[in-house]
Amino acid sequence: MNVSRHSDKPDLDSRAHIESFVDRFYQRLLADPQLGPIFTEVAAVDLAVHLPRIKDYWCKLLLGEQGYRRHTMEIHRRLHRRRPLQPEDFERWLATFTATVDDYYQGQRAERAKHLARSIAANMQQSLC
């Protein structure tokens, strides 16, 4: 577990930190007046199922774990057919992601997570919008 000498914020360098990040991020997403209804009403996300998958997804991306095996693009295409996602949705998602990382984490993997999130948002927006 790497902790910067300049901050008491941990890096996203363990499953525990990634799980904590995902919980904090989704707490913000669900409370957001723009994004929350997409998750709760349009997608009707079952958080008991969804959050462990998202935690596995980020553990795969940041730690190389192999637990996640789903195809995210098709999941989002189905959502987009129900409620077209707009560029503003992706911008808001990315701003929320970045703010959550910056508020609680610092380090090489935290920076990698933000870089990956920018790529994910851009790719999805380009594919769907």
Residues forming the annotated binding site for heme? 76
Task: Please say whether the beta carbons of 116 and 61 come within 8 A.
Answer: yes
CA distance 107 to 112: 9
Q: Output DSSP code: residue 107.
A: S
Residue 10 pairs with which residues in a beta bridge? 3
Task: Please say whether the beta carbons of 1 and 90 come within 8 A.
Answer: no
Binding-site residue set = 76
CA distance 49 to 9: 28
